[in-house]
Amino acid sequence: MFKINNRNFLMNNTISSGTRFLSVMSLNLRFGLAEDGPNNWIHRKISFMPLLSTFENDFYAFQEANDFQIDFLSDLLPDYNYIGRRQPAPAYWQHNIIFYNKSWKCVYCNHFYLSSTPNMPSRFRGSKWPRQCTLGIFNNGLQNLIIVNTHFDFSSDVQVKSAKLIRKRLRRHSKKGPIILMGDFNATPDSGCYNEFTSKVDAYPKFFDAFNNSAIRTCHRFSGKNKGEAIDWILYSGNLIIDNSQVITSKFSGRYPSDHYPLIASFVFPSPI
């Protein structure tokens, strides 16, 4: 257990009742080739060592990760493996990476595109960029857990189509364990895609928001502002119980890690699942 701003986060601990805890982080890294002046990757990457050592999690979902950023993070996380790296990838490709603690084993991995042809590099019509999703099923020797990492386009119509596609994919696996869905959705909680995940009567699996739809800005563009709405979410489904959640608005080593704030959430789930 460690404390974050006087709030306890419990992770990887088994208590007498058999209840277990796990924690996750989601962060859009801001791609490393962006010309951000004093916030260029070469300057802000020093913030990641204190960030990751302060907030140790079972799983990290990173969006917009260039190859050299993945290599850098892998060196900082020697006790973790990762999935979601496209190989070979076009130059400057931005990956959706899931780092997972080696106490978990990845038993299934699927990378697909948010398009009408998800098994091949493609995009929905109206999408500015090719968008993608990484899905993994993990087991720690006691239970399965499904982790999903995605990055949505800007078009609201494309966002809804993307949400429907992810739900359709997850229906194949939803009985294999609870689900945590993380990412940069480029949409606020009043959007159609948020409704697609959380509010539709026929939604299956149906998701809940780890932040309970709280109005906290998650994309600050290196400004440090926190008033606004969340476009980065951590959603969950199944027999998980939210223990705590927080948007991390601090600087580390005098730098913001990204133009997005990191999101963390800890969960309780009974054992066995």
**Would the pLDDT of 3 be above 70?**
no
Cα distances (Å, whole numbers) of residue 255 to 43, 224, 252: 8, 10, 5
pLDDT class for 4, splitting at 50, 70, 90?
very low
Per-residue pLDDT at 271: 62
CA distance 67 to 136: 20
pLDDT class for 269, splitting at 50, 70, 90?
confident
Per-residue pLDDT at 185: 99
**Would the pLDDT of 1 be above 90?**
no
**Would the pLDDT of 194 be above 70?**
yes
Q: Which residues have C-beta within 8 Å of that of residue 270, sequence separation ≥ 6?
A: 18, 19, 20, 239
Q: What is the domain range of residue 225? A: 2-269
Q: Which of the residue ranges 84-98, 138-152, 240-254 would you say has the lowest mean pLDDT?
A: 84-98
Per-residue pLDDT at 2: 34
**Domain CATH number, residue 25:** 3.60.10.10
3-state secondary structure 65-115: ECHHHHHHHHHHCCCEEEECCCCCCCCCCCEEEEEEECCCEEEEEEEEECC
> Is-contact 13 21, C-beta < 8 A?
yes
**In which order are the strands placed within the sheet that holds 105-113?**
105-113, 132-139, 144-151, 179-184, 232-237, 208-209
Average pLDDT on 85-99 reads: 91
**Would the pLDDT of 222 be above 70?**
yes
Per-residue pLDDT at 146: 97
10 Å CB burial of residue 166 (0-12, 13-18, 19+) is buried
Q: Which residues have C-beta within 8 Å of that of residue 5, sequence separation ≥ 6?
A: 246
What's at 273, amino acid-wise?
A: I
Specify the DSSP element, H or E, that contains 234.
Answer: strand 232-237
pLDDT class for 137, splitting at 50, 70, 90?
very high
pLDDT class for 18, splitting at 50, 70, 90?
low
Per-residue pLDDT at 212: 83
Between these two residues, 213 and 257, which has the higher pLDDT value? 257
Domain count, the chain: 1
> Is-contact 57 24, C-beta < 8 A?
yes
Q: Which of the residue ranges 126-135, 174-183, 205-214 would you say has the lowest mean pLDDT?
A: 205-214
Q: Is the dihedral of CA 173, 143, 71, 154 positive or negative?
A: positive
How many Cβ atoms are within 10 Å of 140's Cβ, its own excluded? 17
The per-residue pLDDT of the chain, averaged, comes to 91
> Is-contact 29 57, C-beta < 8 A?
no
**Would the pLDDT of 12 be above 50?**
no
Question: Closest Cα to residue 192, out of 220, 221, 164?
Answer: 164
Proportion of the chain above pLDDT 90, given as a percent:
81
Per-residue pLDDT at 11: 42
Proportion of the chain above pLDDT 70, given as a percent:
89
